Amino acid sequence: MSKPMLICSAGNDNASIISRLKSGQVHLQKNNDYGDKEFMLGAIKNLLPLPPNTPTHFKTRTNTILYNALLNGENLIKEVIKSTDSFAVVIGTTTTGIEENYNNIPKKQYLQSFSSLDNPALFVRSVYDICGLSFGVSSACTSGAKAIIEGARLINSGLCEAVICGGVDSLNTLTINGFDSLEILSAKPSRAFCADREGINIGEGAGVFVLMSSECLARNPHLADDFIIALKGYANNNDAFHITQPRTDFAMQERLLSEVLLCANLTPSDIDYINLHGTGTQANDAMESATFAYALNGALKSTPSSSIKPLIGHTLGAAGAIEAGVCAEMILQSIGSLDGQEVLIPHIYHNDFDKSLPQIALVKQGEKAKVRNALSVSFAFGGDNSAIILGQA
């Protein structure tokens, strides 16, 4: 897979984002643009506009964010498109253009400007004039991770040779107030696994990769330097338990970890870093800490782990893709360092771990490790669970 193309409240390019995350900078601010209440949100600043010829039904904030992420790898995308006619686009989202859809109802422009859940994928296909399969994935907070998984499945099944895949979501009134109605939004920066955690903050962003088959890459060796990260394993399952609550026995989460390690042909000891879902809700943190403390006989309990959501907010359908991108960047930096040791992204939680939760190895500020393989997990409403393992190709 390619180097990631990232954007979030921590920055509009990979280097800025990783540098700020490693320093533990919080990129959340109070915002009252989405209703009568003030919310702590992770908003992106200084977005470049969409191309002037963009059709009306693609003119959404979600697509603007996605377009800005794509600009970080546009030259590579164009080179890959030249290399094969067998191409697909898979983009995960939960918000698509919901704000614009709502605002256009009284203007009687709803049907002409309607943004469906596959709209971001269609937008990418339109921007790069791609003639091939495209579809959207919307499975709540696993959408971005599942889009990557679906991209890999398309390639492994022989249906295509290259896929643009990832996730994108934007801040909007409906989503923010919907989460507020569940009473799980925090008025201060999220403190996942902290004793005084109050819930989540909503953010926005995008994470995009290009996946390419080994056969296609072999025919295009000039692209090899852009494909030094491997998607080693992936897995997805569902609790089939509750629409907003995870199972409390972590049975399906343990099965997920077993399946992703089997897919990657790795053991727990091969994992050097874990990107946690780490939302800061009571239910998620209890389930997730139990999963990594006890699953697989506690084999991952001591693996350095952190969540970036206390730093940029929960980017919903983009989260799994952005977090996979952050894992990829840490692997790339570890490859490039002299001793292989690289500063990990710390888990910011005021060093007040909830003692009622099983202990896991949360990364401290300045902690270093050699990151050869990284595991990223996403746990969504509806009981949907996804896991991805990235490593050096």
**5: which DSSP letter?**
E
Place of tokens 């925090």: 186
- DSSP string computed for 222-266: GGGGG--EEEEEEEEEE--S-SS---SS-HHHHHHHHHHHHHHT-
- For the question of residue 350 being annotated catalytic, the response is no
The long-range contacts involving 177-186, CB below 8 angstroms and separated by at least 24 positions, are: 177/34, 177/35, 180/35, 180/37, 180/39, 182/244, 184/281, 185/39, 185/40, 186/40, 186/280
Instruction: Answer yes or no: are the C-beta atoms of 289 and 349 closer than 8 Å.
Output: no
141 has catalytic annotation? yes
Q: Which backbone phi and psi does 284 adopt, to 5 degrees?
A: -60, -50
367, 310, 303, 300: which is closest to 193 by C-alpha?
310
- Distance between CA atoms of 117 and 140, rounded to whole angstroms? 12
CB 133 within 8 A of CB 161: no
Among 57, 194, 216, 314, the active-site one is: 314
263 is catalytic: no
Catalytic, out of 8, 57, 141, 165: 141
Whether residue 136 contacts residue 92, with contact meaning beta carbons closer than 8 Å, is answered with: yes
CA distance 71 to 156: 27
Catalytic residue among 27, 57, 277, 347: 277
Catalytic residues: 141, 277, 314
